[in-house]
Chain A
Amino acid sequence: MTTQAQPVETPTVRHAREGSPWRGLGAVLAKEMADQLSSARMRILEGLIVLTSIAAVYGAIRNLRTTVAQDAFLFLRLFTTAQEPLPALVGFLAFLVPLIAISLAFDSVNGELNARTMARVLSQPIYRDAFLMGKFLAGLATVALVLSAIWLLIFGLGLVALGVPPSGEEVARSLWFLLLTIFYGGVWLALGMVFSVVFRQPATAALASIAVWLFFMVFWGIIASVLAGSLMPIRSGFLEEWLAQRQLEMTLLNLSPNTLYVNATLALLNPAIRSLGLVLPFQLEGALLGNPLPLRQSLALIWPHFTGLVAGTILLFALGYVLFQRQEIRV
């Protein structure tokens, strides 16, 4: 006799689910965001990022004051000017935003499992979709809120210190920069969430997320150049060979969200930048060097980077979503 029952009805063959997958999303979102904003963790992160931002902008302002103000995009310089030994604000954000996003997400799912609240929440009339989406959106909204506050702070400081109002284009460019930074955070938030689904221990999830972050921050540049060197070796010293190698290296580098973010912000905040790829001297023939690009052209330039970050966020979230849906909740 087999243990298999007769296939009277196979509930695995599902028809449409009842009701909306987003039922309860608002409640989860509101509760998660209230949790995030009132947590001690958030206060530490806010303090950290506000201090570093002020330091970076202060350095930039001091630097800008010494130069003669002949710049059409003075406000944007606030973001990109570095005063030794501090890096520019953009550099700080490239470094800090992943940390903030990871620290908001690494215990989002496994924390509920360990606190034994998961089974209770999932036995309410909501789907898992709403639960995970609510958590993710709350994280993203928190990142957006913090970054917007910093953005406003910088504008305020800039107005007081520089005494010049920003032009419409500067505002538009920096708003795009804000959006870009939020999705840069989104990638790391989704990554932290994936690990919080995969690992039962929050500490393991945090460590795994930090490991990925360090990998892209420190090692990916080295690995990309080694890989490009070995896959596309320069044998005879032709320009084509050298170009192919550089091209491969840049493609590899662009797999890192950090590279995508830094390159895109540079092009957004530096209207004079005309290309993010390789430019050969003959391609510059007839170009008006030093002239700023209009916003539309800068956006066209960074569009692949921007969509890359958004796509990364969505893909990682989808991965976490699938893993979470398949997870057996037994608490």
Chain B
Amino acid sequence: MDAIIETQDLSKHYGDFVAVDRLNLQVHEGEVFGVLGPNGAGKTTTILMLLGLTEPTSGVVRVAGLDPGRQPLSVKAQVGYIPEQVGFYEHLTARENLVYTAKLNGLSRELTRERIESAMERVGLSDALDHEVRTFSRGMRQRLGLADVLVKAPRIIIMDEPTQGLDPERALEFLELIRSLREEDVTILLASHLLYQVQAVCDRVGLFYRGQMVLQGTVPDLARQVLGGAYRIQLELATPDDAVVEAIRRVPGVVSVHPLNGQGYEVEARDDIRPAVARAAIQAGAQLLRLDIRAQNLDDIYTAYFGEVRDDNASTTG
């Protein structure tokens, strides 16, 4: 597959501060790529360099095969950018705002009208087309931001914290919209610190930390890398019983068993050995209430990874 967004050893320094540190990023055509990381990890700086809005200190950027530093117009004509908390001209209507965007993109009058109407329909704002933006709610603005980007029919859409400030229901709706774009071969790069949402829509994820991409891959890939291919089987007993725990520990493939807060235990295993664990527990006389396997969750990966990082830091400084 071709990489539509590619960086090689991309760095950005602000004085002594290193915002982005030798980043190597590859996003393939048609995929939804999630850039994940805590605030200040260099996500926005990377995005600005992809758009040519900030000059890299060193390294190479290629977006749709072009250098955003030298051919910013061609790059920006193909890339739609929804900044964090997208802003519009409040006293203008939604249509007027989008017409301005279309004009800046040099679209013809006919095409402008057509694109605006289909984009607004797409994001479900057809009714508000001629309303002033100052009457719009946060969720409507975010959707208008998406419509604004769709007007130029981009090959790539870059979103910075797209669900920031939305209530869970609106956020979910918005993620649905993003997902629906994938069917049109639009490549999407999405930066966020909200794990669940990234996991819900992204094909691949890159984990940013202090200007570096520390991990990248699909969510199961990351789980294997960080959690060591661990499966977590949770079980709940009517009464806690040490004999049962001992029996489970002896099951082949079990790495460890530890109590969960509340009642129950978590079994870490190298494989999905639920039947064997269940059999062992019942043979040891346990009254089993519940037994299930936890889906691999970006949350765990994130916590596990940054837990390790913190431990490393603590051990090196301490």
Interface size class of A (residues with CB under 8 A): 35 or more
Query: When chains A and B are docked, how far (Å) is the Cα of A230 from the Cα of B18?
Result: 52
Q: Is the CB of B53 within 8 A of A117?
A: no
Q: How far does the Cβ of B118 sit from chain A's closest Cβ, in whole Å?
A: 19
Which of B72-80, B169-177, B216-224, B263-271 lies at the interface with chain A? Answer: B72-80
Contacts of A127 on B, CB cut-off 8 Å? 72-73
Q: Is the CB of B67 within 8 A of A11?
A: yes
Query: When chains A and B are docked, how far (Å) is the Cα of A191 from the Cα of B104?
Result: 27
Q: Is B22 an interface residue (CB 8 A)?
A: yes
Q: Is the CB of A124 within 8 A of B60?
A: no
Considering the complex, give the chain B residue whose CB is closest to the CB of A117.
B87
Q: Is the CB of B55 within 8 A of A11?
A: yes
Q: How far does the Cβ of A329 sit from chain B's closest Cβ, in whole Å?
A: 6
Given A18-B70, A18-B73, A125-B77, are A27 and B60 also a contact pair (CB < 8 Å)?
no
Contacts of A118 on B, CB cut-off 8 Å? 87
Which of A2-10, A70-78, A215-223, A263-271 lies at the interface with chain B? Answer: A2-10
Query: When chains A and B are docked, how far (Å) is the Cα of A24 from the Cα of B55?
Result: 22
Contacts of A120 on B, CB cut-off 8 Å? 81, 83, 86-88, 101, 145, 148
Q: How far does the Cβ of A122 sit from chain B's closest Cβ, in whole Å?
A: 6
Q: Is B187 an interface residue (CB 8 A)?
A: no
Checking A12, A27, A35 against B104 with a beta-carbon cut-off of 8 angstroms, the contacting residue is A27
Q: Is B8 an interface residue (CB 8 A)?
A: yes
Chain A, interface SS category: loop
Contacts of B77 on A, CB cut-off 8 Å? 125
Beta-carbon contacts under 8 Å, A80-109 to B: none
Q: Is B71 an interface residue (CB 8 A)?
A: yes
Q: Is the CB of B71 within 8 A of A18?
A: yes
Query: When chains A and B are docked, how far (Å) is the Cα of A6 from the Cα of B80?
Result: 31
Q: How far does the Cβ of B167 sit from chain A's closest Cβ, in whole Å?
A: 20
Considering the complex, give the chain A residue whose CB is closest to the CB of B87.
A116
Query: When chains A and B are docked, how far (Å) is the Cα of A118 from the Cα of B81?
Result: 12
Considering the complex, give the chain B residue whose CB is closest to the CB of A24.
B104
Query: When chains A and B are docked, how far (Å) is the Cα of A248 from the Cα of B86?
Result: 54
Q: How far does the Cβ of B177 sit from chain A's closest Cβ, in whole Å?
A: 18
Q: Is the CB of B103 within 8 A of A5?
A: no
Q: Is the CB of B51 within 8 A of A123?
A: yes
Beta-carbon contacts under 8 Å, B45-94 to A: 48, 51, 53-61, 67, 69-74, 76-77, 79-81, 83-91
Q: Is A294 an interface residue (CB 8 A)?
A: no
Considering the complex, give the chain B residue whose CB is closest to the CB of A329.
B53
Total residues of chain B contacting the partner, CB 8 A: 49
Considering the complex, give the chain B residue whose CB is closest to the CB of A19.
B73
Query: When chains A and B are docked, how far (Å) is the Cα of A126 from the Cα of B145?
Result: 19
Contacts of B44 on A, CB cut-off 8 Å? 330
Q: Is A115 an interface residue (CB 8 A)?
A: yes
Checking A4, A18, A125 against B58 with a beta-carbon cut-off of 8 angstroms, the contacting residue is A4
Given A7-B58, A8-B8, A330-B48, are A119 and B72 also a contact pair (CB < 8 Å)?
no
Contacts of A23 on B, CB cut-off 8 Å? 73, 106
Q: Is A331 an interface residue (CB 8 A)?
A: yes
Q: Is B105 an interface residue (CB 8 A)?
A: yes
Query: When chains A and B are docked, how far (Å) is the Cα of A328 from the Cα of B57?
Result: 14
Q: How far does the Cβ of B240 sit from chain A's closest Cβ, in whole Å?
A: 51
Considering the complex, give the chain A residue whose CB is closest to the CB of B81.
A123
Checking A7, A14, A18, A124 against B105 with a beta-carbon cut-off of 8 angstroms, the contacting residue is A124
Q: Is the CB of B103 within 8 A of A27?
A: yes
Query: When chains A and B are docked, how far (Å) is the Cα of A35 from the Cα of B22?
Result: 44
Query: When chains A and B are docked, how far (Å) is the Cα of A167 from the Cα of B106?
Result: 47
Q: Is the CB of B85 within 8 A of A116?
A: yes
Contacts of A119 on B, CB cut-off 8 Å? 53, 81, 83, 87
Contacts of B21 on A, CB cut-off 8 Å? 3
Q: How far does the Cβ of B291 sit from chain A's closest Cβ, in whole Å?
A: 49
Q: Is A62 an interface residue (CB 8 A)?
A: no
Q: Is A65 an interface residue (CB 8 A)?
A: no
Q: Is the CB of B74 within 8 A of A124?
A: no
Report which A residues bind B (CB closer than 8 A): 3-12, 14-15, 17-19, 23-24, 26-28, 30-31, 35, 115-127, 328-331
The 9 nearest A-B residue pairs measured at CB: A116-B87, A27-B103, A123-B81, A124-B104, A125-B77, A119-B83, A125-B76, A19-B73, A117-B87
Q: A18-B74, A28-B104, A125-B72 are in contact. List 5 more A-B contacts (CB 8 A).
A: A6-B9, A18-B70, A31-B100, A119-B83, A125-B105
25 contacts between A and B (CB under 8 A): A5-B9, A5-B22, A5-B58, A6-B58, A7-B58, A11-B55, A12-B55, A18-B71, A23-B106, A28-B104, A35-B89, A115-B87, A115-B90, A117-B87, A119-B87, A123-B76, A123-B81, A124-B152, A125-B106, A126-B73, A127-B72, A329-B48, A329-B53, A331-B84, A331-B85
